């Protein structure tokens, strides 16, 4: 089972589409021993004449995501799709399903011919999928796309990443869409409100927890790595943009500048302590819990 919900981040402009999964040791994005529930988050950015969807979610949530989009969007509205992790199912599973129903006018990608990357069905006879127009974004550190007439969407190569990953900053909402980073807050309850507000307390984020989360997920390799360039790149993002909300690709959204400051500070402290100047790298076997 899965619980679906929508969080309005900015009325008429940004919505989070949450669809939960159970943490049962069988989710690659979370520590093997994590238990409880977390949402896969797709984000819908709406402007007057166009909309953009960041990530398309798992197949298990296809019907729910179509319903969520239907509740927010006219099917004729020009929609662009932007998978932030082109190689991960959580980002791409429903690209074709959405394109069959909504007016998908382009897909942003760092690879050409995105339909080659998001075709997961057997087509029989005369069946065919929509041809998707790919807007190729370079592999540089940052670029920019425009939603509607003038809404600036900044596209960043994720400053910390395991696989090909993009972060997005939306100037209009001051939201950083951080993909797999800052994704460490889950819940014992499936119907959790998947955001922590400006005046609410984040009872999870501290040095010990974030360190453990990184090392037990996709940043298993980072102990003893050269983290200085990574820290510098993260700090550049922090200084360059007026981030008021962090919206991860999975897990809980953090709203308010105080939460943003805390997240970046704790992450920086963890990466500093894990740097090769402070600790020697050692081989990390599969399944090592730290």
Partner 1 sequence: MKNGNSLPREIAPGIFWLGDCLEQQHKGMTYHSYNAAFLLIGDECSMLIETGHPKDFPEIERQMIEILSHNRPPLKHLFITHQETPHSGGLGRVLQNWPEITVHGDVADYHLAFPNHKSRLKNMEVGDKIDIGGRQLIAVEPVIRDLRTSLWAFDTGANALFPGDGFAYSHYHWDGHCGLVAEEAKSLDLKDVLAVFAERALYWTTTTDMNIYVDRLEELIADLHVEIVAPTHGLPVTDLAATMPKIREGLISEGSIIT
Residue 9 CB: number of other CB atoms within 10 A?
Answer: 20
Write out the chain in H/E/C secondary structure: CCCEEEEEEECCCEEEEEEEEEECCCCCCCCCCCCEEEEEEEEEEECCCCEEEECCCCHHHHHHHHHHHHHHCCCCCCEEEECCCCCCHHHHCCHHHHHHHCCEEEEEECCCCHHHCCCCCCCCCCCCCCCCCEEECCCCCEEEEEECCCEEEEEEECCCCCCCCEEEEECCCCEEEEECCCCCCCECCCCCCCEECCCCCCCCCCHHHHHHHHHCCCCCCCCCCCCHHHHHHHHHHHHHCCCCEEEECECCEEECHHHHHHHHHHHHHHHHHCCCCCCCCCCCCCCCCC
- Residue from 3, 66, 89, 145 touching partner 1 (CB under 8 A): that is 89
Residue (41 or 245) nearer to partner 1, CB: 41
Choices 27-35, 186-194, 235-243, 247-255; region in contact with partner 1 by CB under 8 A: 27-35
Choices 88-96, 99-107, 201-209, 257-265; region in contact with partner 1 by CB under 8 A: 88-96
Does residue 163 touch partner 1 according to CB under 8 A? yes
Does residue 32 touch partner 1 according to CB under 8 A? yes
To partner 1, the closest distance from the beta carbon of 148 in angstroms equals: 30
To partner 1, the closest distance from the beta carbon of 225 in angstroms equals: 4
Does residue 164 touch partner 1 according to CB under 8 A? yes
Each residue 176-215 as x (binds partner 1 by CB under 8 A) or -, in order, gives ----------------------------------------
Residues 217-246 interacting with partner 1 (rule: CB under 8 A):
217-218, 220-222, 224-227, 229-230
Does residue 93 touch partner 1 according to CB under 8 A? yes
Choices 59-67, 140-148, 199-207, 257-265; region in contact with partner 1 by CB under 8 A: 59-67
Choices 18-26, 198-206, 236-244, 250-258; region in contact with partner 1 by CB under 8 A: 18-26
To partner 1, the closest distance from the beta carbon of 12 in angstroms equals: 31
160 contact partners, CB below 8 Å, separation of at least 6: 181, 219, 230, 233, 234, 271
Residues at the site binding partner 1, with contacts judged by CB under 8 A: 21, 25-28, 32, 40, 58-61, 86-90, 92-93, 113, 116-122, 139, 161-164, 216-218, 220-222, 224-227, 229-230, 276, 281-283, 285-287
């Amino acid at each position: 089972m899965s619980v679906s919900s929508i969080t309005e981040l900015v009325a008429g402009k940004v919505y989070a589409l949450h669809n939960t999964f159970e943490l049962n040791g069988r989710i690659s994005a979370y520590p093997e021993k994590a238990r409880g529930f977390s949402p896969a988050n797709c984000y819908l950015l709406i402007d007057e004449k166009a909309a953009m969807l960041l990530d398309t979610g798992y197949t298990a949530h296809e019907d729910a995501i179509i319903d969520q989009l239907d509740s927010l969007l006219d099917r004729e509205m020009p929609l662009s799709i932007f998978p932030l992790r082109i190689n991960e199912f959580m980002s791409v599973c429903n690209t074709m399903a959405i394109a069959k129903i909504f007016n998908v006018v382009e897909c942003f990608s760092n690879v050409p011919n995105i339909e080659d990357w998001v075709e997961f069905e057997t087509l029989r006879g005369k069946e065919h999928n929509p041809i998707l127009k790919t807007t190729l974004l370079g592999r540089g550190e940052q670029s920019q796309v425009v939603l509607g007439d003038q809404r600036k969407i900044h596209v960043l190569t994720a400053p910390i990443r395991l696989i090909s990953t993009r972060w997005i900053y939306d100037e209009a909402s001051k939201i950083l869409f951080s993909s797999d980073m800052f994704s460490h807050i889950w819940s014992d309850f499936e119907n959790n409100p998947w955001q922590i507000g400006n005046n609410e307390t984040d009872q999870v984020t501290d040095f010990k927890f974030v360190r453990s989360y990184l090392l037990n997920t996709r940043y298993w390799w980072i102990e003893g790595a050269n983290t200085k360039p990574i820290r510098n790149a993260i700090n550049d993002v922090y200084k360059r943009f007026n981030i008021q909300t962090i919206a991860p690709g999975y897990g809980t959204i953090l709203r308010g500048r105080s939460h943003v400051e805390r997240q970046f500070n704790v992450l920086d402290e963890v990466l500093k302590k894990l740097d090769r100047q402070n600790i020697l790298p050692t081989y990390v076997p599969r399944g090592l819990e730290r």
